[in-house]
Structure 1
Amino acid sequence: MEFSLSPDQRMMQESLVGTVAQASPLGRVRAFASDPTDNGEDVWRALAEFGLAGIGVPEDAGGLGLSLLDAALASEALGAAVAPVAFLGAVLAPIALLRGGSAEQRAAWLAKLASGEVQAAVAISETVAGARDGAGVAAGGGRLNGKALFVPGGLAAGLLVVGDVSGGLHLVAGDASGLTRAFMPGLDETRRLAELSFDDVAAEPLGGSPGLLSALRDAAWVLIAADTLGAAQTMLDKAVAYAKERRQFGRTIGSFQAVKHLCAEMAAELEPCRSLVWYAAYAFDAGLTEASLMAAHAKALTSEVGRFVARTATEVHGGMGITDLLGLHFWFKRIGLNRQLLGGPERVREIAARLQGLVAA
């Protein structure tokens, strides 16, 4: 039995790393972070030309027809480069349409999503992680009312998948009457979060099994975990490279035992996350009964390990680590947002405990 990535998967990820490096170098990330009006359209277009917009869309609709594991590998590459794009919606919206959409809904949206003509965003934070500040969306009579917070990519999305307070899912066109969007300042400057307000907004309900929301949640957890994995690996690599070149007392700091231990501990903590993220994605693709549990473990573990690596890698850099010159803060903050997005580790572990029957639902 093969427990590693296929040659095609490795080739795809390596090719994507090169594409992202060219389309979104650190200078482009800085420009995006410093200009709230910058929507990163050029970066998204380059990735759409690569095929990333349609990674989960079937081939007969113009997409690549790949798996969640492939999407997780892509998410890891985007996190490693702190690419200023909202990738969650590009993967989750096709899942919602394929599992719960009607033939008419799939025909209307899948090809547009695959080409990158339309970007998608998924607003399920309140449904998954619990409402805060009075947020939450109520559905009735084909209309939505309320507010959804912390929606990645929600400012530019032409298609919204919205979760209501009862767990139902709905499609909303980006130009729907009564829909208003506002920028939500957040910790991570490499991605835009939106606050969406719904005032009697027309919506199309999604069908599918009662497990559709859980499927979107699980896929999102895996993708967020993969993004954190990529960002943390970059911070580790930067710390090791810096330790090899920074000199103190006539020696490179990497020759000091304390610094060696810091780097070794980061690597030892991070490596198990990789296999866990891969297996969680595989379990989702294979429809295993433990898919939800594995997704929860992947999200919770990478959240904790990512924070440890971010802090420790910054410490290895010393005072330089907190300066804007190196840009470590972009990876640090990206990991910080991922930790809380769609549930912090405490919330996710509580859900995992419920899945195992360890606590009452």
Structure 2
Amino acid sequence: MDFSITADQRMMQESLARTLAEASSLDRVRKFAGDLTDQGGDIWRAMADFGLAGIVVPEEHGGLGLSLLDAALASEALGAAVAPVPFMGVVLGPLALLRGGSAAQQAEWLPKLASGQVVAVAAISEPIAGARDGAGVTATDGKLSGKALFAPGGMASGLLIVADRTGSLHLVRGDAAGLTRSLMKGIDETRRLAELDFDNTPAEPLSGGPELLARLRDAGWVLVAADSLGAAQVMLDKAVAYAKERRQFDRVIGSFQAVKHMCAEMAAELEPCRSLVWYAAYAFDSAPAEASLMAAHAKALTSEVGRFVARTATEVHGGMGITDLLGLHFWFKRLGLNRQLLGGPERVREIAARLQGLAA
């Protein structure tokens, strides 16, 4: 039995990595980070041309019709490139429509999402990670009121999938009346978070209720975990490469036992995350009874390991590790945001305990 990804999946991930190396180089990422008016349109067009916009959209709607495992492999490549792409909405938007949308809603929106003409955002943080600063959305008579925080890509999205306080989901058009957006200040300069304010904003309900929200949560956890896996692997690789060339006391620092141990510990902590993330993504489509728990484990573990790798890789680089010249901080901060998106590891483990009946 083969427990690895297929040759086609590996080829897709490697091809995406090459596309990202051209469209989203570190210099391009640095430019995006330094200019809040830069929406990264050229990067998004390259991703749409690659087919990423429709990765989980069925073929009959113009997409690729691939699985969450394929999406997770793409997310891993995006994390490795610290690409400014709102990928969570790219996946969760179509999933919400496919599982909770009407035939008319699917016919209207899925082809636009698949082509990249419209980008979706999933504003679902509050019922999953807990409300902050009075945030939360209420639904009354087909209209939404309240505030949703931490929506990646929400500043430019044309379609919003919004969770209310009860866990029900609603579809909101990007130009809907009563919708205002504000840019949130965050540590990760490669992704823009939006604060979405609703004032009697017209919305269309999606069926499925809290069960659909749980499915989106699981998919979101897997995608964030995969992104962290890609980012952490690059930090490890950069630390090892630096240790092989940086000289101190007439020796490369990689020859010192302390540095060897630091690199070995990073590799030992990170490698188990790979199989866990891959299996959690596989379980989402093929083992639904295990999907929620596996997604929680993947999100919690990569959050902890990502922070360890980020800190240790920076220490291996010494003072150079915190300079903008190397750009290591882009991966460091991306891992920092991933740790908290859709709940920090403590919150995720609490949900996992409830799933297993270990907590009320």
Same fold (TM over 0.5): yes
For structure 2, the 5+ residue unaligned runs are none
1:287: how far off? Answer: 3.9
**Matched residue, 2:258:** 258
Paired position in structure 2 for 1:306? 306
Could you say which residue in structure 2 is the equivalent of 1:108?
Answer: 108
TM-score, length-scaled by structure 1? 0.99
Quote the offset at 1:127 in angstroms. 1.3
Alignment correspondent of 1:35:
35
Q: Which residue of 2 aligns with 1:136?
A: 136
* Correspondence 1:122-133 to 2 at 5 A: 122-133=122-133
- The structural deviation recorded for 1:203 is 0.3
Is 2:157 the counterpart of 1:157? Answer: yes
Instruction: Show the 5 A alignment for 1:50-89.
Output: 50-89=50-89
Does the aligned pair in 1 maintain the 2:243–2:259 contact within 8 Å? yes
- Equivalent residue letter for 2:184: M
Pairing 1:178-257 to 2, within 5 Å after superposition = 178-208=178-208, 210-257=210-257
Aligned to 1:13: 13
Measure, in 2, the Cα distance between the counterparts of 1:39 and 1:164.
28
Deviation of the 1:288 alpha carbon: 2.4
Measure the CA separation in 1 of the matches of 2:8 and 2:269: 27
Q: Is it true that 1:173 corresponds to 2:173 in the alignment?
A: yes
Deviation of 1:210 (Å): 4.3
Q: Which secondary structure state, in structure 1, belongs to the residue aligned with residue 127 of structure 2?
A: helix
Q: Which residue in the other structure is 2:95 paired with? A: 95
**Corresponding residue of 1:282:** 282
Letter of the 1:238 counterpart? K
Deviation at 1:209, TM superposition (A): 6.0
Is the partner of 2:187 in helix, strand or coil?
Answer: coil
The amino acid that maps onto 2:156 is: A
Specify the SS of the correspondent of 1:211.
Answer: helix
Q: Output the CA distance in 2 between the equivalents of 1:323 and 1:153.
A: 27
Structure-1 separation of matches of 2:304 and 2:280: 17
Partner in structure 2 of residue 120 of structure 1:
120
Match of residue 294 from structure 1: 294
SS at match of 2:326: coil
State TM-score, norm by structure 2. 0.99
For residues 27 and 209 of structure 1, what CA distance do their matches in structure 2 show?
A: 43
**How much does 1:211 deviate?**
1.2
3-state SS of 1:31 partner: helix
Q: Is the 2:167–2:209 contact (alpha carbons within 8 Å) kept by the matching residues of 1?
A: no
Structure 1 segments (4+ residues) deviating >2 Å: none
The one-letter code of the counterpart of 1:358 is L
Counterpart CA distance in 2 for 1:145 and 1:108 is 25
CA deviation map 1:12-45 (0-9, x unaligned): 0000000001000000000000001111111011
Instruction: Show CA shifts across 1:142-200 (max 9, x none).
Output: 00000000000000000000000011000000000110000001010000000000000
CA distance in 2, matches of 1:258, 1:130: 41
CA distance in 2, matches of 1:94, 1:137: 21
Deviation at 1:285, TM superposition (A): 1.0
Aligned length: 360
Q: Which residue of 2 aligns with 1:315?
A: 315
The one-letter amino acid paired with 1:39 is Q
Asked whether 1:267 is paired with 2:264, we answer no
Deviations 1:74-127 (A, max 9, x none): 000000010011100000011000001000000010000000000000000001
- Structure 1 unmatched runs, 5+: none
Q: Indicate conservation of the 8 Å contact 2:307/2:335, yes or no.
A: yes
Residue 354 (1) aligns with residue 354 (2): yes
C-alpha separation in 1, matches of 2:300 and 2:209: 26
Mapping for residues 39-50 of structure 1, pairs under 5 Å? 39-50=39-50
| Residue identity matched to 1:56 | V
The Cα shift of 1:290 comes to 1.3
Q: Distance in 1 between matches of 2:119 and 2:221?
A: 20
Question: 2:54 and 2:176 mapped to 1: Cα distance?
Answer: 24
Say if 2:332 is the partner of 1:337: no
Paired with 2:210 and 2:166, the residues of 1 have a C-alpha distance of 11
Instruction: Give secondary structure in 2 for the equivalent of 1:277.
Output: helix
Aligned-partner Cα distance in 2 for 1:346–1:210: 21
Q: Secondary structure at the match of 1:3?
A: coil
- Following superposition, the deviation at residue 322 of structure 1 comes to 0.8
Distance in 2 (CA, whole Å) between partners of 1:159 and 1:348 is: 27
Query: What residue identity is the alignment partner of 2:76?
Result: E
What secondary structure sits across from 1:317 in the alignment? helix
Give distance in 1, aligned partners of 2:290 and 2:24: 36
Give me the CA root mean square deviation. Answer: 0.7
* Separation (CA, whole Å) in 1 of partners of 2:254 and 2:229: 23
- Match for 2:87: what amino acid? F
